[in-house]
């Protein structure tokens, strides 16, 4: 009998005790997996989030990583989207196509990466998470709020407050953004979908090493449909230029869970169809400004299935 199977008959309180014994011994992965695939229980789900965050903090600092020297493959033949942006179906996604697209274009649009059932699970996770956060911060809310959909772990590295809520006048609501790691059940839902579509295998091959998720940049977003303007990007779509230093291999993944882009009343992500290997200034110190945001915005086609994903090289 494996160490995992003999724990499955335990009650939640006993599972917590067993998991903490494993944590104290430094067996973080075993402690985490022990709490997975159990009946839904808020205490277990919160503990799993704490394990993920605490395990990261126990890792030894890594010196400046060596430059990644993975060979640059030829860009595979694929259908080009608007303005030359490479576009493929989910069945065609692999590390070679992803690496070639990042090297040549800086983007890859993947249609149908997530099917309708998984889209429904993720949209529900976003709704529940934002609503429970708003409830937890509402006037007169119970200080012992213990929803599995909202838990700002004390082990989170930094501030839980999202950019849009840094102003004290901006109260939490059922729209906006929040870190996925602040929603134990939502976090599990996303990781479960990533596992089902075997995304980890693709990214492992793409990076040439085990990939990690940046918890502070891993976000749920629910934005009202707003048009792009010169003053701002409707819907909050954006690509950060650089925030983790140089010589870091990163990949941004945006997943559209509702129709957006051309032919809808909601903007998609605006893409400049070329790769830039350096940071470009915008509207500062004499930098060239744009009188409109690049377009057309690309999102899910009108009437097409949701779950289209845009991957952007960092």
Instruction: Give yes or no for residue 64 having a pLDDT over 60.
Output: no
Residue 46 contacts residue 148 (beta carbons within 8 Å) = yes
Give CA 210 to chain center in angstroms. Answer: 16
What value does the mean pLDDT take over residues 17-37?
92
Structure confidence at residue 252 (pLDDT):
86
The pLDDT-based confidence of 182 (bands split at 50, 70, 90) is: very high
3-state secondary structure of 306: coil
Instruction: Give yes or no for residue 285 having a pLDDT over 80.
Output: no
Work out the mean pLDDT of the chain and round it to a whole number.
76
Nearest residue to 266 via CA among 208, 226, 220: 226
Residue 26 in any domain: the answer is no
Where in the sequence is the domain holding 230, given as residue range(s)?
A: 79-314
86 φ/ψ angles, rounded to the nearest 5 degrees: -65, 140
Residue 289 in any domain: the answer is yes
Instruction: Give yes or no for residue 137 having a pLDDT over 70.
Output: yes
Integer Cα distance of 289 and 237 in angstroms? 19
Integer Cα distance of 129 and 151 in angstroms? 9
Residue 12 in any domain: the answer is no
Residue 34 in any domain: the answer is no
Residue 24 in any domain: the answer is no
Structure confidence at residue 296 (pLDDT):
36
Residue 283 contacts residue 289 (beta carbons within 8 Å) = yes
Q: Which residue has the higher pLDDT, 274 or 110?
A: 110
126-140, 156-170, 231-245, 291-305: lowest mean pLDDT where? Answer: 291-305
Tally of structural domains, the chain: 1
Structure confidence at residue 92 (pLDDT):
93
Residue 116 contacts residue 305 (beta carbons within 8 Å) = yes
pLDDT tens for 85-109 read: 788 999 999 999 999 888 888 889 8
Residue 305 contacts residue 134 (beta carbons within 8 Å) = no
Instruction: Give yes or no for residue 249 having a pLDDT over 90.
Output: no
Residue 43 in any domain: the answer is no
User: Which residues partner with 219 through β-bridges?
Assistant: 179
Residue 41 in any domain: the answer is no
Integer Cα distance of 135 and 172 in angstroms? 9
What value does the mean pLDDT take over residues 153-177?
70
Residue 27 in any domain: the answer is no
CATH of the domain at 303: 2.60.120
Integer Cα distance of 129 and 95 in angstroms? 32
What value does the mean pLDDT take over residues 26-41?
90
Integer Cα distance of 312 and 314 in angstroms? 7
Percent of the chain with pLDDT over 90: 37
pLDDT tens for 287-309 read: 555 544 443 333 333 333 345 66
The kind and range of the H/E element at 109 are: strand 107-111
């Amino acid at each position: 009998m494996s160490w995992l199977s003999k724990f499955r008959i335990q009650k939640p309180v006993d599972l917590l005790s067993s998991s903490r014994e494993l944590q104290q011994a430094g067996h973080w992965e075993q402690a985490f997996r022990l709490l997975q695939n159990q009946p839904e229980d808020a205490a277990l789900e919160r503990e799993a989030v704490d394990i993920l965050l605490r395990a990261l903090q126990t890792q030894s600092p890594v010196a400046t990583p060596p430059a990644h020297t993975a060979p640059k493959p030829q860009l595979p033949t694929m259908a080009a989207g608007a303005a030359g942006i490479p576009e493929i179906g989910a069945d065609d996604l692999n590390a070679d196509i992803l690496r070639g697209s990042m090297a040549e274009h800086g983007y890859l649009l993947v249609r149908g990466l997530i099917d309708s059932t998984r889209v429904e699970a993720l949209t529900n996770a976003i709704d529940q998470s934002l609503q429970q956060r708003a409830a937890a911060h509402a006037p007169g809310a119970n200080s012992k709020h213990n929803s599995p959909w909202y838990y700002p772990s004390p082990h989170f590295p930094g501030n839980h407050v999202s950019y849009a809520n840094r102003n004290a006048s901006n109260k939490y609501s059922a729209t906006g953004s929040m870190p996925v790691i602040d929603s134990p059940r939502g976090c599990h839902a996303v990781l479960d979908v990533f596992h089902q579509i075997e995304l980890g295998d693709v990214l492992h091959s793409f990076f040439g090493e085990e990939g990690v998720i940046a918890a502070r940049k891993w976000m749920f977003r629910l934005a009202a449909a707003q048009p792009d303007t010169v003053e701002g990007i409707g819907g909050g779509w954006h690509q950060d230029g650089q925030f983790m230093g140089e010589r870091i291999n990163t990949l941004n993944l945006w997943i559209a869970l509702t129709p957006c882009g051309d032919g809808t009343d909601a903007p998609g992500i605006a893409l400049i169809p070329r790769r830039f290997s350096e940071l470009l200034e915008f509207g500062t110190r004499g930098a060239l400004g744009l009188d409109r945001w690049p377009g057309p915005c690309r999102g899910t086609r009108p009437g097409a299935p949701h779950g289209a994903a845009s991957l952007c090289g960092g």
